[in-house]
Amino acid sequence: MSRLTTLLEGPIGRTLGLGPRAPRVPDGPQRLEPVTPAPRSGTRAPLPFLAPQEGLTAGETGVVHLAAALLLAYPDEGRARREESVHAAVGGLPGQVAADLASFLDRTGEWGDAELAAHYVATFDLRRRCALHLSFYSSGDTRRRGMALVTFAEAFAAAGFEVPTGELPDHLPLVLEMSARGGRDVAAVLLAAHRQGVELLRSALHQVGSPYAAVLDAVCRTLPEMPQETIDRFLALLSEGPPGEMVGLAAPLLPFPTMRPDEGPDAGGEA
C-alpha cells in the first residue's frame, strides 16, 4: 500500500473533510493585525524562493500536499491521529520536503493541543498577512473577493469535489487536499494563479518564527519555478499589501478562466 493510499484512507476519510472549525481564541484582549505595507526602499528583503524538489513524483507530490493539508488543519481533538498519519507517510519522501514536514512535527511535538491551538489562532486568524484564504491576497477585503470565491467554488465543482459546509473554497488546506485526491490539474491552476499569495504567506510565517513556515516550505518545493510575471506580482504584494476596496472595478478578477463542471479537467484517480 502506497504512502498516499495510507493517507487517503486515514482519519479524514475519502472526501474533502477539512471542514469548519470552532476557533479557540487565546485569553486576553486581541486585535486584528493590520496589513502594513513594507517601505518601497526595502528594509526587509524577501525570502529566497525555493527550488522545486528534484525527483519528486506525482504520487509523492500528492503525499506532500495531503500531509500539509492535515498539518494546516485546526489542531482539534483529531490532531494526534492526523500527525500519526503524516509521520507514517513522510519517512520515504525524498530530500528536503521530508525534512520540512518533520521539522514541524519535531518543533510542535511537545506542544499541548491548547498551546498549538492558541498559536494557530494568533497566527492564522489574527494576522491578516498570515491568512490561509488565498483570495485575500489577490482581492483583499474588497467586493471583488466574493466573485473570487465563486471562481474557487466553480473550480472545485469542475474537479468533482464539494466544499465542506461552513468553509470557504479558497482555504489553502482544501486546495491542497483536492490536489492529493484526484483534482491535481485544477488545484495546480489555482495554486499557480495565487502563487504570490502562497509565497507571501510563507514569508510572513518565517518572519514571525512560526513552525508552520516549514509546512509552507514543503508545499513550495512541490511547485514549479515562478515566471517573472508572478515574481513581479509577489514583490508588489510584499510592498503594497492586498488591495483595498475598489467600488465599481471592472477589471478581470483572476488570472485564470472560470471553470464549470463540464469544462474542467478530468478529476481522474488518485494522485
Q: Which residue has the cell 478581470?
A: 252
Which comes out higher in pLDDT, residue 234 or 10? 234
Burial of 222 (0-12, 13-18, 19+ CB in 10 A): buried
| pLDDT given for residue 63 in this prediction | 96
Distances (CA, A) of 226 to 4, 48, 49, 194: 26, 12, 9, 11
In the structure, what pLDDT confidence band is assigned to residue 239 with cuts at 50, 70 and 90?
confident
- Structure-block grid coordinates of residue 3: 504512502
Residue 48 has pLDDT above 60, yes or no: yes
Which comes out higher in pLDDT, residue 199 or 45? 199
Which comes out higher in pLDDT, residue 243 or 51? 51
**82 and 70 Cβ atoms separated by less than 8 Å:** yes
Highest mean pLDDT among 90-94, 112-116, 238-242: 112-116
| pLDDT given for residue 199 in this prediction | 95
For 138-168, what is each residue's pLDDT tens digit? 877 667 788 899 999 999 999 999 999 889 9
Average pLDDT over residues 176-190: 96
- Structure-block grid coordinates of residue 198: 502562497
For 215-236, what is each residue's pLDDT tens digit? 999 999 999 999 999 999 989 8
Residue 244 has pLDDT above 80, yes or no: no
Which DSSP state fits 2? -
Whats the size of the chain, residue-wise?
271
Closest CA to 97 of 184, 201, 210, 222: 222
Which comes out higher in pLDDT, residue 76 or 3? 76
CA 26/CA 119 separation, integer angstroms: 8
Residue 35 has pLDDT above 50, yes or no: no
Count the neighbouring beta carbons within 10 Å of the beta carbon of residue 116: 16
Where in the chain are the domains?
Answer: 55-240
Residues above pLDDT 90, as percent of the chain: 58
Which comes out higher in pLDDT, residue 234 or 23? 234
CATH pick for 55-240 out of 1.10.3480, 3.30.420, 1.10.3470, 2.40.70: 1.10.3480
Residue 41 has pLDDT above 60, yes or no: no
| pLDDT given for residue 252 in this prediction | 39
| pLDDT given for residue 127 in this prediction | 85
| pTM score, whole prediction | 0.77
For 54-98, what is each residue's pLDDT tens digit? 999 999 999 999 999 999 999 999 999 999 999 999 988 998 999
| pLDDT given for residue 108 in this prediction | 97
| pLDDT given for residue 37 in this prediction | 35
Residues above pLDDT 70, as percent of the chain: 71
